[in-house]
Amino acid sequence: MARTGRKRAAAERPTLRWCAVVERSLLFSRWAAAVNDDELGYSLEEADHGRASGAEILSPAGIRVEGFFGGHNPPGGFDSVDVAVCTIEKANSIVNRLLEQRKLGDIGLLVVDEIHLISDSSRGYILELLLTKIRFAGERLGERIQVVGMSATLPNMELLVEWLGAEQFRTDYRPIELKEMVKLGTCVFDNGKKLLRKLDPDPFQEIMRDQDNVAQLCLETILEGCSVIVFCPSKDRCEQLALHLAEFIYRTLKSEGDLSEKLRQELNRDKLEEALGLLKNCPTGLDVVLGKTARYGCVYHHAGLTADERDIIESSFKSGNLRIIVATSTLSSGVNLPARRVIIRTPMFGGTVMNSLTYRQMIGRAGRKGRDVLGESILMCDGQSSKAAWELVKTELKPIASCLDGDGYIYE
């Protein structure tokens, strides 16, 4: 299912049916991609974010939604909830306990978001074991548990369909057109290598130096009344770029001329001060970098944020008050924060070329239904990384495979 193609709606209807009619529990497993210990903390908080979203929708109907993640277990445990939103580790633990108690039938529906990550080399085996137990132990015990798997980046869906004995629903519908581009030096190409435009190498020299035209690409989107997400390969680079963009906006506002006036009209000063005030009231106090950037509509987003800071940033961005988020790859999955334009600062993440799945998830953030008429993605590169950039654009998604089948014998 295409990104922005309403994946959530595919899970809402069976959720309500099982909870309200059949009166059995829902186990909602969220991946919230984590590639190291630092980002694992982020994934745990993402599970809590999913719990809050579900509670907002279902609580008025008397359906109790709780999160199970890290060391957090709600009062009464799994037996006391209707909908459990979990990390895959917690979901696996809950299923193990229910199997020991011969109570697997307490689960009526398992929803697995980002199911393509079953082939992830670090944690995919846990999801594979979880689904194996639900599928085969459930049948052996005479318990038929419905499984809904969701993905926007699953190239060989038929493999999972056969393994799970499932029905498939596939759509390429994307409510917002995506315009995919590559920026090499000052030239911007479409994904077919057709030259679209040539940027001025230093368009704002009277204001400040704009390295690689990043500020220009952000500014022109803001002036159209839209928002931008910029992906960077590390937390430090996120914060440095956020500071650079905030300084650029500050200097532009202080300059004279039409550009300054247009930018002033787009940025709601009162709303930005309101967001800054909320950040100041966080239990940890105002982050030094956010204190310098948020007042100019620009913030960073990575695993170092507290839960309170992240909630404020995400809600302010969704409302259109904050206009630029500079983020690590964690924002590419699990968080519903679309923007008109997505800029990927480099194809090199973690010292290597990012994989095609991460790239597809990043550009999938481009385009906000109901607010944008199109979405734009720009992958930036230089002469050294241009080959890697074009390979990313052209490479098909890697088919998923079993993590437990190291020798490739399961599916021949």
Are residues 224 and 145 located together in one domain of the fold? no
**In a domain? residue 2:** no
pLDDT in 10s for each residue of the chain, 412 residues:
444 445 555 555 454 444 443 344 566 665 443 333 333 444 444 545 554 555 566 677 777 888 887 777 788 888 888 888 888 888 899 899 999 998 888 888 888 888 888 888 788 899 999 999 988 887 887 877 888 888 877 888 888 889 888 888 887 777 788 999 999 999 999 999 999 999 987 778 778 888 899 999 999 999 999 999 999 999 999 999 999 999 999 999 999 889 999 999 999 999 999 999 999 999 999 999 999 999 999 999 999 999 899 999 999 999 999 999 999 988 877 677 889 999 999 999 888 999 888 899 899 899 877 777 889 999 999 999 999 999 999 988 888 888 887 654 444 3
Q: What's residue 334's pLDDT?
A: 64
Q: What's residue 195's pLDDT?
A: 98
Are residues 48 and 181 located together in one domain of the fold? no
Q: What's residue 410's pLDDT?
A: 44
**In a domain? residue 400:** no
Residue 91 has a CB neighbour count (10 Å cut-off) of 26
Are residues 181 and 152 located together in one domain of the fold? no
Are residues 235 and 357 located together in one domain of the fold? yes
**In a domain? residue 408:** no
Domain that holds residue 337: 177-394
CB 355 within 8 A of CB 253: no
Are residues 160 and 201 located together in one domain of the fold? no
Are residues 148 and 232 located together in one domain of the fold? no
Q: How far is CA 193 from CA 143, 186, 217, 361, in A?
A: 53, 14, 19, 21
**In a domain? residue 411:** no
Are residues 121 and 181 located together in one domain of the fold? no
Are residues 29 and 146 located together in one domain of the fold? yes
Instruction: Give SS3 for 109.
Output: strand
CA dist., res. 191 & res. 181, Å (int) = 5
Output the six-digit token pair for 188. 């911007």
Output phi, psi for 258, to 5 deg: -65, -35
**In a domain? residue 111:** yes
Domain boundary among 164, 195, 229: 164
Are residues 244 and 290 located together in one domain of the fold? yes
Rg (CA), the chain: 22
Instruction: Give SS3 for 10.
Output: helix
CA dist., res. 26 & res. 85, Å (int) = 8
Are residues 120 and 224 located together in one domain of the fold? no
Helix residue spans in 141-287 (DSSP H): 157-164, 214-222, 235-254, 258-266, 269-280
**In a domain? residue 409:** no
Output phi, psi for 181, to 5 deg: -135, 160
Residue 182 has a CB neighbour count (10 Å cut-off) of 23
Domain boundary among 100, 135, 164: 164
Indicate the pTM of the whole model: 0.80
**In a domain? residue 1:** no
Domain boundary among 114, 130, 164: 164
**In a domain? residue 15:** yes
Total domains in the chain come to 2
Strands 107-113 and 146-150: parallel
| CATH code of the domain covering residue 262 | 3.40.50.300
Are residues 240 and 117 located together in one domain of the fold? no
Output phi, psi for 280, to 5 deg: -65, -30
Are residues 141 and 195 located together in one domain of the fold? no
CA dist., res. 233 & res. 131, Å (int) = 32
